[in-house]
Amino acid sequence: MFDGYTTSELSAIFAMQGFAGLSLFSVYVLMALGLAIIFGQMGVINMAHGEFMILGAYVTYLVSIFFAEYMPILFGAYFFLAMILAFVASGLLGMAVEWAMIRHLYKRPLDTLLATWGLSLILQQIYRSTFGAREVGVSIPDWMMGSIALTDLVEIPINGLFVMAVTLIIATGVGVMMYRSLWGRQVRAVVQNRTMAGAVGIDTGRTDRLTFGIGCGIAGVAGSAFTMIGSTGPTAGQLYIVDTFLVVVFGGAASLLGTIASAFTISQTQSILEFFLSGSMAKVLTLLTVVGILMLRPQGLFSLKLRK
Amino acid sequence: MSDVSTLGLRQSRLFTASEILGYLVLAVVIFIVIPSALDAFRLNLFGKYLTYAFVAIGLVLCWGVGGILSLGQGVFFGLGGYCMAMFLKLEASTPENTAIQSTPGIPDFMDWNQLTELPWWWVPFNSFAVTVFAIVAVPMVLAFVIGLAMFTRRVSGVYFAIITQAIAAIATILIIGQQGFTGGVNGITDLRTLMGWDIRPDNAKTILYFVSGILLFAVLFVAHVIRKSKAGRLMIAIRDREDRVRFSGYNVANFKIFVFCVGAAFAAIGGAMFTLQVGFISPTLVGIVPSIYMVIFCAVGGRSSLIGAVYGALLVNWAQTTFSESFPELWLLAMGALFIAVVMAFPMGLAGLYDDYLKRHVDRVLAPVDRMMIHRAARRESEKLSATRATQPAE
Amino acid sequence: MASTTDYLLSVEGLTVSFDGFRAVDNLSFYVDNDEIRVIIGPNGAGKTTVLDLICGRTRATGGAVQFKGHDLLKMREDQIVHKGVGRKFQNPSIYDDLTVFENLELSAPGSYSVFGALAFKRTGAIIDRIEEIAEMIFLSDLLDQKAALLSHGQKQWLEIGMLLIQDPELLMLDEPVAGMSVAERKKTAELLNTITKGRSVLVVEHDMKFVEDIAHKVTVLHQGKILAEGSMDAVQANPKVIEVYLGH
């Protein structure tokens, strides 16, 4: 399969595909982080996670239009406001959904899966009625256009770099929140022993709502970042949901670091394979490998052996 | 020692009076009411809905009874459908019919994709016997492999659901990507005859509707026997207390593999009948979305009711057709709301509503019949029992 | 010295660690035929874990468990059951959605395979046996009741009945009287006294009065290790045991 390529071409291919893989990695991490919190910590299967992401993307789209219309001078910076609004919008919707639906289903995880799937259908239809069935793209500020040429053969697009930086910041932020903040301690306490956490005065209902909200909010930010590298349609979220779940499960559901490592492994495998095989076969092969490994090691790559 | 007549009472009966009534009503609906009320076109649509009922029945056994939620039933439905379609396609692709192709005698989509030879794994589908065998065997083998890998490693619940969903995604991408072998995103279309019998005219479709109905009852019977056997009771036990079942000496994985394979076979039979009645099969019936819809048919009917699953499949699909003809925008909203409502307010579906409001009255009416059936069964059993006891005196 | 095969159950050097924490640490003890052995110890001593290891629910990190010459550590739970080991859980573990009769029926030995279970037919012998057991566990009148509707104590009895019908040579009970009323506890003690005849029993229990009533020999666990072993009186007089129970 390497016939006909010189060494320098090959290394350039690997560098470019590696970078393409890093973009995919960013998307996976951003989507999976929210899911890892919701699924890993709360055990809730949120099939509408992709739709929360898309909400963030649409919010970003609206903000970009608003800036272009009324504040063209500040257009270069709209994205930062858009990300915050995306977080707030998806987070609030998430909290509302937790209150109305999820909290009644904590003991029936499979039913949560079906109910959130219903929710995803409803959201998709709402998006379609509001924004139309066609995909929309945002205009990227000028400073994000173009690319940096590392060598003659290797060029790195700036928007990709930006998304990666955002990913890094959010991942660090989530890690800090989870392991350093009061909320993080409460979440982990509730996860480990709900009754006891309640007994020591943690409002477990509130913690659940906040956790679900933050998980959805992060999905919103993911969607916002996503607009920088791709367009948004009503059903775009659905395309990623299976991949994202596999990322989380593959990483070992309860481990944030595992989620990141698994996002990295899966995205790199897929994008390197994509160069040599057709896109669909690369995807099939990657997914099959992941499913195969999960069959051999169902607890995922990173998980502790626990006393039952 | 208990007396002989109560021993008869303790025998598990295959059918109670209300179950018999339930199946009779369903038979009347499927074989008399629907065919006499609808024109050939609508009847064909209901024939299509019936094929989803096969999947829903399998899901009742897997999910409602056994607690195993598979989000990949579309894969098995599709495998059955594709097996049937391959046979029909080969029959439609005679050298005479395909004379204009650069390679006559192979399916048209292969020719469009520059294939010059029938792939080896298509060849056996020239035989109808092999096809019928493959329709059931191929999905069962796949289910067996998946089940063996997952259940012996104790993967269950949401993990199993997610992995089966991933398998559904993989299957779709694979079918679409390999269009030279599978017909790609369009699927296998333009199917004409089944061993010389044209499946396209209205009267053929009406006959196929009745064939589906009869097969459906055969599948219902098999499912009912499993449900009423000790294995069926064990599945419920496994659903509720897997650990206890293990410590009662059963290898839980084997029971799960079995029921998963049965569910796969049912789905595949449905898929094959789908191909026959609708005239094509495509990846849109295999993937994540159709798979999850099949779960909702089952949930609407009542996840642990075999008869409910059939009504669920018919009703949801009928509603979908009716709604999406007049309000295409609203349909997804209605479907989403239905998902949420069923899960949150009616987790036992239509069957649960029946149990809560109607069953009492039906049971009261049927009580004398039931007593008579029990009495006769008891007499038969006690005669047998006293015969065995006479030959083996108590210690 | 007797060789290990002379005992019904011999546990040697049994160890399990969870992520570095040794819940059971190099544990050895032996159970004779017809012996009633009680394991006591403070919370977190590893008592339930020992039962879990013997019945295959948890995989050991090291050591050996021999039962009638079979190495239990290499077997699956169901295979261990077939060798004659029965296990009752701490919280009543029964099938809520099935009747008492069906609960007992599923626990009766035989037709373990899938196809065996499909072909299974209730015989007079099995029905008789179920009714006999139901009488012993005070549930004769409730055979057709869904198990979910039983009281906590009745659920405990039902699970004991499910083990009885299994007829194991080694019966392992995890806190059989926990959560029972005084009257239920008394009835349970009687029940245990009748059913423990002719088999070995390994009991984990906190209730000292109950332990005194039934134990032949007591093993005291502390932090995964054996602190003391012997008759109830000897163990109660042991200063190390007093230290652990009352010291801190």
Give the tens place of pLDDT for each residue, C110-125: 889 999 888 888 888 8
Best to test chain C binding among A299, A304, A305, A306 (most C CBs inside 10 Å) = A305
Per the structure, the complete domain to which residue B208 belongs is given by: 38-347
List C residues 134-163 in contact with B (Cβ-Cβ < 8 A): 159, 162
Residue appearing with tokens 């079979």 = C70
A19 vs A303, more confident? A19
The sheet carrying C217-222 orders its strands as C85-88, C170-174, C200-204, C36-40, C217-222, C225-230
Range A42-59 average pLDDT: 90
Task: Give domain status of residue B231, yes or no.
Answer: yes
Cα C46 from Cα C204, distance rounded (Å): 10
pLDDT band for position A253 (cuts 50, 70, 90): low
Are the Cβ atoms of C57 and A304 closer than 8 angstroms?
Answer: no
pLDDT band for position A305 (cuts 50, 70, 90): very low
Cα B90 from Cα B86, distance rounded (Å): 6
Quick one: what percent of chain C has pLDDT higher than 90? 17
Collapse the DSSP code of C38 into the 3-class scheme (helix H, G, I; strand E, B; otherwise coil) and give the result. strand
- pLDDT at position C35: 87
Cβ-in-10-Å burial (0-12, 13-18, 19+) of A306 comes to exposed
Across chain B, mean pLDDT equals 89
pTM of the model: 0.90
- What CATH code is carried by the domain that includes residue C237? 3.40.50.300
Are the Cβ atoms of B69 and A288 closer than 8 angstroms?
Answer: no
pLDDT band for position C1 (cuts 50, 70, 90): very low
Are C228 and C220 within 8 A, CB to CB?
A: yes
Q: What angle do CA B79, A234, A48 make, to 5 degrees?
A: 70
pLDDT band for position A301 (cuts 50, 70, 90): low
pLDDT at A33 over 60: yes
CB atoms within 10 A of CB A1: 7
Cα B298 from Cα B309, distance rounded (Å): 5
Q: Which residues on A lie below 8 Å from B179 (Cβ)?
A: none
Domain count for chain B: 1
Collapse the DSSP code of C176 into the 3-class scheme (helix H, G, I; strand E, B; otherwise coil) and give the result. coil
Give the tens place of pLDDT for each residue, B103-144: 888 999 999 988 888 999 999 999 999 999 999 999 999 999
Are A247 and A255 within 8 A, CB to CB?
A: no
Q: Chain B residue with minimal CA distance to A284? A: B170
Give the tens place of pLDDT for each residue, B274-299: 999 999 999 999 988 899 999 999 99
Residue appearing with tokens 């269009």 = B179
> In angstroms, how far is CA B51 from the centroid of its own chain?
7
Give the H or E element holding residue A284.
Answer: helix A279-296
Give the tens place of pLDDT for each residue, A172-194: 888 888 888 888 888 778 777 77
Range C173-183 average pLDDT: 82
How many angstroms away from the CA of C84 is the closest CA of chain B?
A: 10
Question: Minimum mean pLDDT among A137-141, B356-360, C30-34, C231-235: which range?
Answer: A137-141
Task: Give domain status of residue B303, yes or no.
Answer: yes
pLDDT band for position A303 (cuts 50, 70, 90): low
Domain count for chain C: 1
Range A14-19 average pLDDT: 73
| Paired strand residues for C38 | C203, C218
Are C107 and C160 within 8 A, CB to CB?
A: no
B216 vs C189, more confident? B216
Collapse the DSSP code of C62 into the 3-class scheme (helix H, G, I; strand E, B; otherwise coil) and give the result. strand
Collapse the DSSP code of A243 into the 3-class scheme (helix H, G, I; strand E, B; otherwise coil) and give the result. helix
Across chain C, mean pLDDT equals 86
Are B270 and B53 within 8 A, CB to CB?
A: yes
The DSSP symbol for A228 reads T
Range A237-258 average pLDDT: 80
- pLDDT at position C236: 82
CB atoms within 10 A of CB C135: 12
Give the tens place of pLDDT for each residue, B86-109: 999 999 988 888 888 888 889 999
pLDDT band for position C95 (cuts 50, 70, 90): very high
- pLDDT at position B389: 61
First to last CA, chain A: 48
Q: Which residues of B touch A (CB under 8 A)?
A: 63, 69, 71, 149-150, 153-155, 157-159, 161-163, 165-167, 169-170, 173-174, 176-177, 288-289, 292, 295-296, 299, 329, 332-333, 335-340, 342-344, 347
Per the structure, the complete domain to which residue C157 belongs is given by: 4-247
User: Which tokens hold the place of A129?
Assistant: 């009625």
pLDDT at A140 over 50: yes
